[in-house]
Amino acid sequence: MANFNTHLNVAFMVSGTMSLTVYKAGLIDDSGFLMCVALGTIGGLLPDLDSDNSTPIKLGFNITSFIFAFGLVMHWRSELSLLALIALWLAGYGFMRYVVFSVFTNMTVHRGVIHSVPYMAIMGLGMTYISYDILNLPLTVSWFYGLFLFGGAIVHLALDELYSVNLSNMKMKRSSGTAMKFYQHKDKWWYLLLYVMLVLLVYFAPPFDEFWQQLRDPAPWAKLKIGLWPELIKNWLN
């Protein structure tokens, strides 16, 4: 399978290119452009959360542990003494970084249900739901955030499948088919749960028709076509 740097670089390049496209079409603003790049890159690392020794899972749990500990201290900062707050900070960080991390890694298997298309679709739809219904962001932006997170994850899965092909003699490696999967019989009950969650998220998702109508509107793409070439080349072509 592809390594961490490959996943990071390819996800960044793909999400950057796509973000620039929708930005130049006027469908997102400056902050939306930056968030789409970030979410697409993060999505390119998400499937490896089920790998106990992967860089994404270690980095993710380190950041989550800091945020969790900081949240505890901020919540209790007025009620507790300095020494108690320090103890709470250390306890909160240690609980997330070592206890929760240990439970998570023991419950997950690399290239298990997390490393699948329906799981990543849930992550993408969840991002759209959070953006629209909780953060109250515009509908178009919310759908783009979810799609870029999902798209980055699909890039990751596609890379892993590509790396499962031995191009020198055109043979499939043993890992072929374990990356971009929709179902695995040994995890049938987990997949049943995933698809039930996915159906519910689709049903309660923010309106897609309005977002689709904006994508089908020819005006943004006409604007993109006008700004596609530098002025020097446009003048030369004309």
- Does any domain span residue 233? no
Domain stops at, among 107, 133, 150: 107
Where is 88: in which H helix or E strand? helix 82-94
Angle between helices 55-76 and 82-94 (to 10 degrees): 150
Q: Which of 19-23, 70-74, 221-225 has the lowest mean pLDDT?
A: 221-225
Q: How far apart are CA 218 and CA 199, in angstroms?
A: 31
Q: CA nearest 176: which of 188, 187, 163?
A: 163
Q: With bands split at pLDDT 50, 70 and 90, how would you rate the model's confidence at 58?
A: low
- Clarify whether residues 214 and 156 are in a common domain: yes
- Whether 206 and 132 have beta carbons less than 8 Å apart is answered as yes
Q: Identify the domain containing residue 140 by its residue range.
A: 4-51+110-228
- Clarify whether residues 8 and 32 are in a common domain: yes
Which SS3 state, helix, strand or coil, does residue 207 take?
A: coil
- Residues in Cβ contact with 192 at an 8 Å cutoff, skipping those fewer than 6 apart: none
Q: CA nearest 138: which of 200, 214, 192?
A: 214
Phi, psi for 212 (deg, rounded to 5):
-65, -35
pTM score over 0.85: no
Question: pLDDT for 128-174, tens place per residue?
Answer: 998 898 888 899 999 999 999 999 989 988 888 777 654 444 454 55
Res 145: pLDDT: 93
- Clarify whether residues 58 and 47 are in a common domain: no
Res 66: pLDDT: 76
Question: pLDDT for 187-211, tens place per residue?
Answer: 788 788 889 999 999 998 899 998 9
Per-chain mean pLDDT for the chain: 78
Q: CA nearest 142: which of 228, 223, 230, 214?
A: 214
- Clarify whether residues 38 and 122 are in a common domain: yes
Res 65: pLDDT: 77
Question: pLDDT for 77-127, tens place per residue?
Answer: 888 888 988 898 899 888 877 777 766 665 555 556 777 888 889 889 988
- Clarify whether residues 173 and 219 are in a common domain: yes
Task: Measure the CA angle with vertex 46, ends 144 and 29; round to 5°.
Answer: 25
